[in-house]
Amino acid sequence: MLKGSLVALITPMRQDGALDEKAFQDFVDWQVRQGTHGLVPVGTTGESPTLSHAEHKRVVELCIEAAGRRVPVVAGTGSNSTDEAIDFTRHAKAAGADAALVVTPYYNRPTQEGLYLHFKAIAEAVDLPVIIYNIPGRSAVDMTVETMARLAKLPNILGVKDATANLARPLHQKSACGPDFVQLSGEDHTAVAFLASGGVGCISVTANVAPRLCADMHEAWERGETAAAMAIQERLLPVHDAMFCETSPGPVKYAAHLLGHCEETCRLPLAPVSEANKGRVRSALVQAGLLN
């Protein structure tokens, strides 16, 4: 089962905007060596909206190769076109991914029945476990607990990445979908509270720059060491705040740049992080003991 600290991987790019394949694979290896429990390439944090289809698939392949089966790889395969999502999911299966992360279709705002049919079509087209990614703030559509419960009955629907920041959701989803339905937080600030409400892990932005601490936090929780888990969450709070001081992944890419992992380059329409917020990111890393 997927659990613990999974990282929503950034996609390193050179200053000219091209993929930096070596930096990416080195970063994946560092994540695994730091204790990250799972890898999630080409989600929103990986700038999937501005990657070409060929680049998207290449990043998935590079991640699986660098991971070397040491930890699970959950490939981002979502799209607001069902056919495109099926194509990406088929590729992830062929490349050797362990599961697919499929976002609720953005912009076209389907009904709950449309959401059900979209995920059902993907799950039936590809024999690969699917994690539903429910993020109303980015997709402008919110999957209800009732729709999720319908989908949970399908063999390939494994769980949800819940980025609603609504801590009643995991309680209701566990009740409706059953105890084996994998619930992963998509919101760093509430990661421990989400665990207390029925979750089993977090797909984290902060884990890009604090993988060991994020892994330690989840491991402490699993051992029943609640105070230790909360102490780490409190230590990481300024980092969580800084990672979202501007649209992600701008701040986290800048933070990874400060730590020597990659250039800070993001593709337009994401602008470079402002000088004021660069200072905020640096200060947060120093405060958390991640940067001297």
For the chain, which residues make up each domain, given as ranges?
A: 4-223
pTM of the complete model: 0.96
Say how far apart CA 9 and CA 31 lie, in whole Å. Answer: 9
Active site residues: 133, 161
What is the tens place of the pLDDT at every residue in 113-136? Answer: 999 999 999 999 999 999 999 999
Residue 32 is which amino acid?
Answer: V
Task: Give the Å distances, CA to CA, from 30 to 43, 74, 290.
Answer: 19, 17, 15
| Residue showing tokens 């613990």 | 4
User: In the CATH scheme, what is the code of domain 4-223?
Assistant: 3.20.20.70
**CA nearest 163: which of 215, 203, 213?**
203
pLDDT one-digit tens code per residue, 204-226:
999 999 999 999 999 999 999 99
- Residue 1 confidence (pLDDT): 75
